[in-house]
Structure 1
Amino acid sequence: MSGGEQKPERYYVGVDVGTGSVRAALVDQSGVLLAFADQPIKKWEPQFNHHEQSSEDIWAACCVVTKNLRETCWDKAGHFFDLPDFLSWKATGVTARSLCSLVCKWTYSAEKGWDDSFWKMIGLEDFVADTYSKIGNQVLPPGASLGNGLTPEAARDLGLLPGIAVAASLIDAHAGGLGVIGADVRGHGLICEGQPVTSRLAVICGTSSCHMGIDHMVQGHAAFPELQVKATARCQSIYAYLNSHLDLIKKAQPVGFLTVDLHVWPDFHGNRSPLADLTLKGMVTGLKLSQDLDDLAILYLATVQAIALGTRFIIEAMEAAGHSVSTLFLCGGLSKNPLFVQMHADITGMPVVLSQEVESVLVGAAILGACASGDFASVQEAMAKMSKVGKVVFPRLQDKKYYDKKYQVFLKLVEHQKEYLAIMNDD
């Protein structure tokens, strides 16, 4: 099973100190009051129209009502799940957590387990006291069989038979990687043939920052309304139209060379990898006063290239840490865009493998189920049997010198951004 990332719900405690009581409420982001508690406070009247209250008594009342919220909300919660584990629990009634969910989202260490000191430091020592039963004290590897499979209730809801094996889950992007990275590549002329799977890098190109970055650059451009009209008239997506428009304006040169004087640093929402710096901003250099469809198409191209340059940046960081990557395996929505795929091949200098099945996340989830059923001895065996190569896109090595220069500029952009920040913060 796989589950997509969801924005976590956030709640707020409002405390009101009145003349006769302290009240507290738990409120969600929509302003809906979810729980309420109140506590009287003492009041003295030493003489007529003179009132006194104890600040210590008020604070004690604040503590009481806040603790009462715990009793009505926190203490009533039986378990806290990440979405993939919640779905597994609904299917099987088993509260075991996936190693993937806990390591990626819950600070769990695959080697050391939970860190008691962390939970105590942030005031959630309750988890430690109950041996982590609420957030997971049974941890299973993805693909492990959960309990006795589908419960009768879940089977009835799904229209399936009780007892069908259910696998410990993966986060959706990780399931996509599982669905593509283990494919049998024999006969495709790839250097990764015969090498360990660690020579392969799965790039999950979905509705994450890469997709939103392209949308932001395209939809915010003055020529976007014109693009919509023309794409609709041709019954094309806006990106298919932009790709064809780039082919029209490139003339005799390779399409990638249209951005010789336009460069983008794409981290408009911070950088996750390899810098892990949420303060970084997006950068564009080389803009002109004109804002026609040609300009939009070239800016779109520069943004696609910037994302591929970011992939190269990640690969170089991995190689500096001792890894060896030779082949990219792409899946997700953007892997359907031929320009996005070709730019990744050209800029990284590596062949790009596309899966025969477009929905790689679903294949990955099915691989987990196949392992849980016992039909395969290992996840690796299931990947080799169930993942299929659909297409291989090779880099145009004659363009290598150009993209090496683009990469030098790419690194300069973030270097300069940090320099600008240092200048502005200098006292």
Structure 2
Amino acid sequence: MSGEEEPRSYYVGVDVGTGSVRAALVDQRGVLLAFADQPIKKWEPQFNHHEQSSEDIWAACCVVTKKVVQGIDLNQIRGLGFDATCSLVVLDKQFRPLPVNHEGDSHRNVIMWLDHRAVSQVHRINETKHSVLQYVGGVMSVEMQAPKLLWLKENLRETCWDKAGHFFDLPDFLSWKATGVTARSLCSLVCKWTYSAEKGWDDSFWKMIGLEDFVADNYNKIGNQVLPPGTSLGSGLTPEAAKELGLRPGVPVAASLIDAHAGGLGVIGADVRGHGLICEGQPVTSRLAVICGTSSCHMGISKDPIFVPGVWGPYFSAMVPGFWLNEGGQSVTGKLIDHLVQGHPAFPELQAKATARHHFLVHRMTPSY
């Protein structure tokens, strides 16, 4: 042995939240080496309608990724992963954006996760009492994808629905953008689209709610190749995506996760040995992950399916392979805290102090690779 240290390996994680995109650079030990964030645009053309742009989101992903890899050897980057909110991205058959709005603005081609336009559609879906609903606590949320898809068919038939070639969950759109692979992640499809990791799509459900279109084309528009989260996609980064992200072509890209589930996986799978925590030595099924952002999500896993009215799941292998996931929570809790904090008279002064302190710490702690 020469005694020389092996070159460090680096990994890039990109997290797309409701209001911004974040990127982190970590090494093989999981040590955080660099972080960057970038705001993303939101539109609210009318009450309960919340929209974004997939082009704007991808551009922000490129900005933050370039920032976190500055100054390192790109050959030492071993992998890239995306997580994102479970928003709905609509593209035509040539993968171009389609409008999800009455104004016909194709730049706004994302119905955000928190959009509540499809209230009447979700009521009709829940009235069917179809068996797939038992896997979402018995009642589907208006924030899931089936009611949004039905709304598009009923309200934007000519400008959107008839022209659509691909409906992506936002995390899957990002992995497609990076690799050109249209395969979907089990995480998104199981949690938000009624897909079963064991049985696949249920034809009778889509026919019953009036979306038999998907059955007819073998689910090509919403995903008929489904992979476990973390699976390496295709040949990795395409040359075009690599150039835009500031990385090298061929870097492995993982099948994606919903943002909360990426956090849940980190908490439930964390190595807690030697920290004196009560969960040390206990099975992972005894852990509860609480993921806080715009909303709060409580997540737990089990070896066998547990059906709880009003609690999402059980979802098989959607977060931790081989385990069933249940999740509950409170919508917009983080946003409400923001509202309280930002509405306080002392907020501007404290914000200025925090910003100054942040710049001071970043200057002092900027790592040298």
Q: Shorter-chain TM-score category?
A: 0.3 to 0.5
Could you tell me the TM-score, scaled by structure 2's length?
Answer: 0.44
Q: Give the structure with the higher percent strand.
A: 2
- RCO higher in structure (CA 8 A, sep ≥6): 1
Asked which structure has the greater CA Rg, the reply is 1
